[in-house]
Amino acid sequence: MRAILDIVLILLQLYVYVVLASVVYSYLIAFNIISRRNAMVVAIGDALYRLTEPVYAPIRRRLPSFGALDFTPFIVILLVMLIERVIVYYIYPNVF
Domain chopping of the chain, boundaries? 2-94
Closest among 71, 82, 18 to 48, alpha carbons compared: 18
pTM metric for this prediction: 0.91
- Across the range 73-84, mean pLDDT stands at 98
Coil, strand or helix at 88: helix
pLDDT grade for 95, boundaries at 50, 70 and 90: confident
- Across the range 50-60, mean pLDDT stands at 97
pLDDT grade for 49, boundaries at 50, 70 and 90: very high
Does the pLDDT of residue 31 top 90, yes or no?
yes
- Across the range 5-16, mean pLDDT stands at 97
Does the pLDDT of residue 96 top 90, yes or no?
no
Is the torsion defined by CA of 35, 38, 43, 44 positive or negative?
negative
